[in-house]
Copies of this chain bind each other. A is one copy, B any other.
Amino acid sequence: MVENTYPPKEKTDRRIQRTRHLLREALISLIKEKNYEEITVQDITERANVNRSTFYLHFKDKDELLYKSMVEVYDALAETMLANKKEQTGGLNLDHLSDAADFQHVADHAEFYKVILSEKGVASFVVRVRKYLARVFTEHILEMGVGSAPRFPLEAVGHFLAGAEIGLISWWLENGKKQSPEEMARMMLDMCAFGTYWALGVPASPQEEAEKSEG
């Protein structure tokens, strides 16, 4: 009897699991030491203690290895945010935009994100995540029902939020994750909702308050 499941299981053999895991770990471990671009397949297989030809049985090249690792994390992120969205019950508001769930997700994959968001990291992944976040934020803003007169293009706001979140996350990871995911979510939410003047405990300058009430 054929199982005919999708995605195909195919990973039953422990050797496959073991090899792929070793290669993945070796790559992550190497990215900590040198730029991704400088890493060779030889380096990876050497560290993984796997024959070089075996590498090619599993991956086309090192990019595919990285890509498949990324997709795994990326899918987990998407899943996290989707699940988070579904449990929303009416009364949508910006709270959702930075529910602790996404910071929790980052914490769960801290090592991966720390490496990949660093100077030694991979541009394509960061940009992809930023675009993904921007899309999610923008869609959510739409569902929230914006007021009669949004002052700026919604997409711009989405990208602003996405960039800001990545900025916060990078700072968080580089400084040893001293805050809890909940604290980080609160930071994100508060700064988005009330602005940075408020976050700093500084009153907005007079002319700006004037502009605000006139607008």
Chain A interface residues toward B at CB < 8 A: 35-37, 63, 91, 93-95, 117-124, 126-128, 130, 134, 141, 144, 146-152, 154-168, 170-172, 175, 187-188, 190-205, 208, 212
Contact = CB atoms under 8 A, between A and B. Distances in A.
A201 B157 contact: no
State how many copies of this chain the complex holds: 2
Given A120-B123, A160-B167, A163-B164, A212 B198 contact: yes
Contacts of A162: 167
Nearest to A117: B127
23 contacts: A35-B124, A36-B37, A37-B63, A94-B197, A94-B205, A118-B127, A119-B124, A121-B127, A123-B123, A146-B201, A147-B200, A151-B199, A151-B201, A154-B200, A156-B187, A157-B196, A157-B199, A159-B171, A164-B164, A164-B167, A191-B195, A195-B198, A198-B212
A117 B126 CA distance: 10
Nearest to A162: B167
B168 A159 contact: yes
Contacts of A167: 130, 134, 159-164, 166
A202 B147 contact: yes
A123 B119 contact: yes
A128 B170 CA distance: 12
Given A151-B201, A194-B212, 16 more contacts: A35-B124, A93-B208, A119-B124, A126-B126, A130-B170, A141-B200, A144-B200, A152-B187, A152-B191, A158-B171, A159-B170, A160-B187, A162-B167, A163-B165, A192-B196, A194-B195
